[in-house]
Chains A and B, each alone.
Chain A
Amino acid sequence: QKEVEQNSGPLSVPEGAIASLNCTYSDRGSQSFFWYRQYSGKSPELIMFIYSNGDKEDGRFTAQLNKASQYVSLLIRDSQPSDSATYLCAARSGGRLGGTSYGKLTFGQGTILTVHP
């Protein structure tokens, strides 16, 4: 069974701290990885995606990918109460299905983050 696993949480950090969210995946054919943020009752919204080993930074967010260890992480610097949400990690596989290029997107179960003032 191809899976994406996230650290179970919930995770609670003080305002201004670094929040670290982790994700492992089992399908070595996964080619790109996505972090979504989801507020309660709302739809997921994309924060970042990464497909190369190493770090990718966007403002307060840094995604890290280690394909050898099958590990993806998201760091949130200077955490704010507005960052409190569920964070979803997703892995997209590579390859073809039925003659059409389509990478299936598999989501982890999500990690609830609370940033307290």
Chain B
Amino acid sequence: EAQVTQNPRYLITVTGKKLTVTCSQNMNHEYMSWYRQDPGLGLRQIYYSMNVEVTDKGDVPEGYKVSRKEKRNFPLILESPSPNQTSLYFCASTPSGFSEQFFGPGTRLTVL
């Protein structure tokens, strides 16, 4: 089944404790993105990647890191999480730069 998977789906952590949210897609898509969704603000792009080893900042990259060492994986790293990073996170992939996004199931992160 073609899909985007994320892990973990739910995470409660404390300020400053490094964490990684994994994202994997099995559709051989070139492009992958991370979004965060907050009430009243819609989906905002954190980082995107156009191919292996090619990444760039989105609208809200502060406090996040990403890497793309393999085409299928695009992990999101929070090296020192803070409470304002409490949010619902979505990973998405797309076959080309102009096609629809396929979203993962989301990761609900709470930083205490």
Name A's B-contacting residues (CB within 8 A): 4, 31-32, 34, 41-46, 49, 88, 90, 92, 94, 97-98, 100-110
Contact = CB atoms under 8 A, between A and B. Distances in A.
B42 A102 contact: no
B105 interface: yes
Contacts of B41: 109
B42 A108 contact: yes
Given A92-B98, A94-B98, A101-B96, 13 more contacts: A32-B98, A41-B106, A42-B106, A88-B43, A97-B50, A98-B50, A100-B97, A102-B48, A102-B97, A106-B45, A107-B43, A109-B40, A109-B42
Contacts of B58: 104
- Chain A binding surface SS class: strand
A108 B41 CA distance: 8
A97 B44 contact: no
Contacts, number: 60
Contacts of A100: 50-51, 54, 97
Smallest CB-CB A-B distances: 7 pairs: A102-B97, A43-B103, A109-B42, A107-B43, A107-B42, A103-B98, A101-B97
